[in-house]
Amino acid sequence: MSLQRRLTLFFVLIVILPLLAAGFIVQRVIVGEISRRAVLSLRPALDATVAIYNREAESLDRRVRSTVEDAPRFAALLASGDAAALSAHLENRLEESLDLDFLVAVGRRDEVLGYASRSPRFLPGFRPPAPNVIAEADPGPSSGFSRTAAIPVAIKGQGTQGHVIGGFWLDEDLLLAASRSGVDLSIVSEDRVVASTAAVGASFEVEVDYFDPFEVDLGEESTAAATKLGGGMAIVASTPAGPIGELSRQVLTSMLALLALALVATTGLAYLLARLITKPLEELSEGAHAISEGRFDHRIPVRSKDEVGRLAVAFNEMSGQLSHTISALSSSRDQMQRAVRRVGDTLRSTHDMKQMLDSILNTAADAVNAEAAVLWLLSPARGELHPAVARGVDVDSLGRVKVGEGVVGHVAERGTGVLLPQGVGAPMFSRHEPHFPVAVAVPLYSQERIMGVLIGYRKDSSRPFAQDEFDTVAFLAEQGGVAVENVRLHEEAQRLSLTDGLTGVWNRRFFQMQFRQVLATATRFDRHFSVLMLDLDHFKQVNDRHGHQRGDALLIEFSQRVTQLLREVDTFARYGGEEFICLLSETDVQGAMTTAEKIHDAIKGTPFGTMGDELINLTVSIGVAAYPDHGDSFRSLVEAADQALYRAKQTGRDRVCVAGPPPPDLKVAN
């Protein structure tokens, strides 16, 4: 194990172990105190419930007497023994008194004659007591209720006619009046739960301990305390043990999280401390190793002024000069490698004009360390130059420069290079050129004609371009001109291989290439396209009468007329002799017929010839075929169009025919 790791481990153990012990002690103390306070909160809840019960019980007799204030009428009902009328009377009295839950009317022979009550809120499984049970119970609390003593009801001169008994239920409503947050209250009658504010599904039995807190299951494990109410009744206050257990887990989790953070922080501090001690030693060792491998540009950080710091200063001074020399050589080598790569790119990109111009510009800029560069090209009219490619300058911010205007126009006009800054008489930048204090500009030739200007820039006026750098840019511009000419020759050869030498329209080879692309698109996206086969009627007679030279001129004029009627996306090619073929992209049979009729009318409507020539009237026969109606390949569609053309010839020429039977909804243009 390294010295740094040993120091880190020792520091972590020294800090973390005491923190770990302290954390567990704090966790036990906090949870214990919370549990103790939860138990202490039970007694106030019991006292509040008993106080509410006593207040209700003390005023119960008065409230019952107030309900029978109309004693003569009540006594008369008792004397009559009419149970229905008596119960109805009690119901009315009960509705007028919001403080009573039940009233019982008892006759002179202690029989129940009338009864009215509100619905109690007991637990499922505990039935409310019957009226006779209430009448036979002693005054005070009993199983599920608390009643008054029997209050006599008499008629003056006739004596007592019976008694009335009133009371209230010992149910959930009584408990809710005294409920507190975090404490559940329950009423127990002879160890049977009658009512509860806890989430209890049904009545069940519990063993009550009136002296000490005890454990009870009221839907969940709880800690409880109890007090007697009388008549076999008890009030139980409980607090769930689950939240305390959850709190214990949360406290433990929090303590562990804090310990984990402390461990991370301590480890980081220990690592930094150990690193602070061992870092200077490692740096000195690495420096000595770098020197032994010939890496003289290596530097040791000077972190202090002590002995280690002075040693680092001496090491850096020793290798500084050698590092500077090696850096200069490396920069020169990298510059040469980039220039060589650029030349290779230029030679490989002879078929791409844009890549060619980029390669010429970047090669020249790298060769002389130019911070910016622009390659300007002459317009076809050779009256102005436009920026073709740029480096270090936004090409869109530049404008066109007239020949003879500014530095670029000066070089293009005179065909000689320029180094700036110069003395008196040097050209000035125009407003459409970049303005830099240092520049080198040379002309770009193609076939001994100036085709453009290559110019490089520097921002630092203290670093002007040297003469050898000017010669380098001039040499690269000369080679670039040759490469550009090769690209132009290649493009011209490629164009000639795909066009008809007489009419200038596309030839059959290019038509086949375009057909494959259009067919692939139509197949993929379920689109239509059409083919037109065109043939000039009686063209052999024109050649025989007017000569082949005039016939060639007519073919050229015919091609021009048809091209003007077609869209840019369509392809028009010479198929052979006086036969031509059209490829109409995204055009169905109806659209192809419309286009064919336009061509037919344009050829027939105007004689052919120019001023001074004998005008010649020509007509054209056209065959139409469409994908996918008449074929799904080059061969099938061209044969279908050719057969339609043949039918047009056979039926009198000077007309448009569709391949095969035309669709029933096809409308032929007039």
Decide: helix, strand or coil at residue 290.
Answer: helix
**Backbone torsions φ then ψ of 666, nearest 5 degrees:** -75, 135
Catalytic-role residue among 172, 384, 433, 578: 578
Contact 407, 433 (CB under 8 A): yes
Instruction: Name which of 168, 172, 189 is nearest 61 in CA terms.
Output: 168
H or E stretch covering 97: none
Decide: helix, strand or coil at residue 642.
Answer: helix
Residue 397 is classified by DSSP as G
Residues 6+ apart with CB under 8 A from 222: 184, 198, 215, 216, 238, 239, 240, 241
**Cα–Cα dist 642/659, whole Å:** 8
578 is catalytic: yes
CA 578 to chain CA centroid, Å, is 60
**Cα–Cα dist 229/50, whole Å:** 7
Residue 322 sits at the vertex; the CA angle it makes with 317 and 326, to the nearest 5 degrees, is 140
**Cα–Cα dist 589/592, whole Å:** 5
Buried b (16+ CB within 10 A) or exposed e, 67-83: bbeebeebbbbbeeeeb
**Cα–Cα dist 6/337, whole Å:** 49
Cα torsion 185, 186, 187, 190: sign: negative
Decide: helix, strand or coil at residue 62.
Answer: helix
Residue 302 is classified by DSSP as -
Long-range Cβ contact pairs of 606-611 (< 8 A, separation 24 or more): 608/554, 608/557, 608/558, 609/557
Other CB atoms closer than 10 Å to residue 397's CB: what's the count?
10
Cis peptide before 663 (omega within 30 of 0): no
Instruction: Name which of 195, 201, 205 is nearest 101 in CA terms.
Output: 195
Four-CA torsion 5, 11, 16, 21, nearest 10 degrees = 130
- Which strands make up the sheet holding 438-446, listed edge to edge? 401-402, 384-391, 372-378, 449-458, 438-446, 418-420
Report the catalytic residues. Answer: 578
